[in-house]
Chains A and B, each alone.
Chain A
Amino acid sequence: MIWLLLLFLMFSSLFLFSIWPLFLKEIINDKEDHDLLNTLERRKSILYREIQYLDNEYLIKNIHAEDYNSFRAELLSEISEIIDQINLLSPKQGI
């Protein structure tokens, strides 16, 4: 009998735990803009790493100077575009 009671208590508390958010006041989800910002930040960090990687490739003579300069310029231009977008988004979110 005590087992049945324990079972009942446990499962009802799990059920309550699950449905509890439904009884809260409406929550406004403003997190999706953060997602976009996160995406841009991540892309920026990838590009920074790419530059570091490219510098290393150049250093170990795996790439020609001409190619190196043009690839680096492309990466820098992409980064600057991303920084612009981040700057546009950031004030909106008060960051």
Chain B
Amino acid sequence: MIPVFGSVSISLAASFSILSILSLLFYIRTGDYRLFLSGRRMAIVVSFLVIISTFILVNELISSNFNIDYVAHHTSLETPTIYKISALWAGQSGSLLFWLFILSIFSLITIHQNKNRYHGMMPWVLIVILIVQLFFLILTTFITNPFEATKADFEVVNGLGLNPLLQNLTMAIHPPILYLGFVGFTIPFAFAFAALMTKESGSLWIRSIRRWSLVAWLSLSCGIILGGWWAYQELGWGGYWAWDPVENASFMPWLTGTAFLHSIIIQEKKNMLRLWNMILIMITFILTIFGTFLTRSGVMSSVHSFTQSPLGPFFLSFVIILLFVCVFFVVKNLSNLKSDKRIESLTSRESGFLFNNVIFVTLCFAVFWGTIFPVITEAIQGTKITVGPPFFNQVTIPIGLFLLFLTGVGPLLAWRKTSIQNLKNNFTLPVIISLSSSIVFLFFGLRGYVVISLMLSVFVSISISMEFKRGIYSRVKRFNESILTALVTLIKKNRSRYGGYFVHLGIVLMFIGFTGQAFNMKKEFGLAINQQNHLGDVNLKLVKLWPEERSNHFSWIAELLVTGDDGNIITSLRPEKRIYFHLDPNPDRRQPHSELDIHSTIKRDIYSVFSSIDTDNNIAFFQIMINPLVRLVWYGAYILVFGTLIALWPSNRKKLLLQ
């Protein structure tokens, strides 16, 4: 009975969303405020029903109700409870319901936050959110219903279980965080569209969505990083980014979202770039839907699977409709979106921001092109031409480095125009230090992009440090504060600016980490007990090899003793070769999985993968990699999160105004 309740809830939510949209549209036409109140209440009911149906599905997953097809396909009696919950987003229909769940929570927050604000824009904001909800409700009601009964003429006593690769804590939290980012951009988009429809193109809507955009961006960043972390820890190929279409699907809205976060500063401060910002947030939102289309339709594995997938055409149609509607209304309101101010000088912070935006969008286009190229070639020529990491690296590395350069230049430029004297004062030290550092790098035998990347990292770090130094010393001089107090007050007084600098420092660290990839080493070999092999200055000896039976898998465990060239013990690694569903009588259901082990330091990671085992001769085969500076990528990510949280933290505006 309860699953029926869930199914009825989402169907009713779809009906309520249609009623709510109609009610709000009639309010816009007639001005009868009762219609708005009723429409808003219906929007609350839609969210409430979605939340209820999500909880029902989670309950069914936990209680292993295999009468529901989704539960039987993604869990089994052996699945640990945490992964039973995470199975909600492991499959297609569940993840669509989960998407709706997050959007519904965001919708409720938006309604609550703006109960007494933005009365002109709110009907349109709600209409946009409701249309997106309706789209997903139609999918979950008619196309891929998560409450569909199991199609079996016998009693299902156990489910298929969750994919072993997904039975990882990072993977349990990575999708929800990524979804928070994807779904989060719906709210800024809704406000942007509302501003367009109500001809409110000033900075009001920008202020209303700044925090939403930051939260969505932070979630998307964390989701991408966690995905990279999971791939690095779990997939066993030694990297964290493979330019896979699914990864690109999250990276593209991140790029335009980052551009948007920068350019709204200009609109807020100078009331410029109105049209550009409108276009950016629309592209960002459409890219989130397009990303879902890429990952859900199966179009990327083969163009033919597109026709087989029930979701692909729906997502594609939605993307096309969104594009058409956005272009139509932007063109219609073009005169209202033009700014009366112009950028006065090329050496101004405004131009820096604009350059940065152009580069972000160019980078997004390059990634977009590389991602959809196989689909285009297959559609035109009938043969799929895939562009892999070499294409992406060749195109994105120079663009990325130019962006890094702009990250350093931005803080050194003044608003409106920077005088020649200021340019000299601000640029001399960072340029001298970064050029000197490049000479040192060249002296140590580094070449090409590695030198450029490290040199630019130094340049950006110095330029940001100078900003902090100038701010701190001016406070120390003026208010006689200690350095620490001056630093804290400086950040507190302008959280978004200095939080942003922390984010930039995090990005610098990540770039240094990426640069470390140029020195990666890899070797594959087999070892019997007490045999050893080496990679670089590291020796690996197999000291122990034993089987172990566990609750949901069988495992071969190897113990590798890792020593340096000098014979000193570095660490002991225990990679495993696991067989999931090993008790299943059907051998096709048994899933092998390599559980790797990593010894990680700031300098390098020693990465061990237990590839296979020859049980007759007791020989284990390993893939060993040495990946320098990977830790800096994760440290950079921590700083990025820290910086964004500083920027997000609410400031005491009244107190600031009094000061």
Enumerate chain A interface residues (CB-CB to B < 8 A).
Answer: 3, 7, 11, 14, 17-22, 24, 26-29, 31-32, 34-35, 38-39, 42-43, 45-46, 48-50, 52-54, 56-57, 59-64, 67, 71
- A33 and B411 alpha carbons, distance in the complex (Å): 39
Q: Given the interface contacts A7-B5, A46-B203, does A21 sit within 8 Å of B269 by beta carbon?
A: no
Contacts of B38 in A (CB 8 A): 18-22
B591 at the interface (CB under 8 A from A): no
Q: Given the interface contacts A18-B19, A53-B494, does A67 sit within 8 Å of B37 by beta carbon?
A: no
Q: Are the C-beta atoms of B494 and A21 separated by less than 8 Å? A: no
Chain A, Cβ-Cβ closest to B48: A14
B318 at the interface (CB under 8 A from A): no
Q: Are the C-beta atoms of A27 and B37 separated by less than 8 Å? A: yes
- A57 and B494 alpha carbons, distance in the complex (Å): 12
Q: Do most interface residues of chain B lie in helix, strand or loop, or is the interface mixed?
A: helix
- A14 and B118 alpha carbons, distance in the complex (Å): 26
CB proximity to A under 8 Å, residues B3-39: 5, 8, 12, 16, 19-20, 31-38
CB distance from B416 to the nearest CB of A (A): 7
- A23 and B16 alpha carbons, distance in the complex (Å): 18
Please, could you name 16 A-B residue pairs with CB atoms under 8 Å apart, sorted by A? Answer: A18-B38, A18-B42, A21-B37, A21-B41, A34-B119, A35-B119, A38-B204, A42-B207, A46-B207, A49-B656, A52-B493, A54-B415, A57-B415, A60-B470, A62-B426, A63-B422
Contacts of B41 in A (CB 8 A): 17-18, 20-21
- A16 and B19 alpha carbons, distance in the complex (Å): 13
- A21 and B250 alpha carbons, distance in the complex (Å): 41
B1 at the interface (CB under 8 A from A): yes
CB distance from A86 to the nearest CB of B (A): 14
Q: Are the C-beta atoms of B120 and A35 separated by less than 8 Å? A: yes
Enumerate chain B interface residues (CB-CB to A < 8 A).
Answer: 1, 5, 8, 12, 16, 19-20, 31-38, 41-42, 45, 48-49, 116-120, 202-204, 207, 268-269, 414-417, 419, 421-422, 425-426, 470-471, 473-474, 478, 493-494, 497, 653, 656-657, 659
- A39 and B42 alpha carbons, distance in the complex (Å): 28
Q: Given the interface contacts A22-B34, A45-B657, A60-B474, does A31 sit within 8 Å of B116 by beta carbon?
A: yes
Q: Are the C-beta atoms of A35 and B118 separated by less than 8 Å? A: yes
Q: Are the C-beta atoms of A48 and B34 separated by less than 8 Å? A: no
- A62 and B425 alpha carbons, distance in the complex (Å): 9
- A22 and B49 alpha carbons, distance in the complex (Å): 21
Q: Given the interface contacts A39-B202, A61-B470, does A27 sit within 8 Å of B657 by beta carbon?
A: no
CB distance from A84 to the nearest CB of B (A): 18
Q: Given the interface contacts A35-B118, A38-B117, A39-B204, does A3 sit within 8 Å of B45 by beta carbon?
A: no
Contacts of A19 in B (CB 8 A): 38
Q: Are the C-beta atoms of A3 and B656 separated by less than 8 Å? A: no
CB distance from B487 to the nearest CB of A (A): 14
Q: Given the interface contacts A24-B34, A42-B204, A52-B656, does A29 sit within 8 Å of B119 by beta carbon?
A: yes
CB distance from B488 to the nearest CB of A (A): 15
Chain A, Cβ-Cβ closest to B270: A50
Closest 10 CB pairs of A and B: A21-B37, A60-B470, A29-B33, A31-B119, A27-B33, A59-B474, A18-B42, A3-B1, A18-B41, A21-B38
Apart from A17-B45, A57-B414, A57-B415, 12 more pairs, CB < 8 Å? A11-B8, A18-B19, A18-B41, A18-B45, A24-B34, A29-B119, A31-B119, A38-B117, A43-B203, A45-B657, A48-B657, A60-B471
Contacts of B116 in A (CB 8 A): 31
- A63 and B41 alpha carbons, distance in the complex (Å): 52
Chain A, Cβ-Cβ closest to B477: A59
Contacts of A46 in B (CB 8 A): 203, 207, 268-269
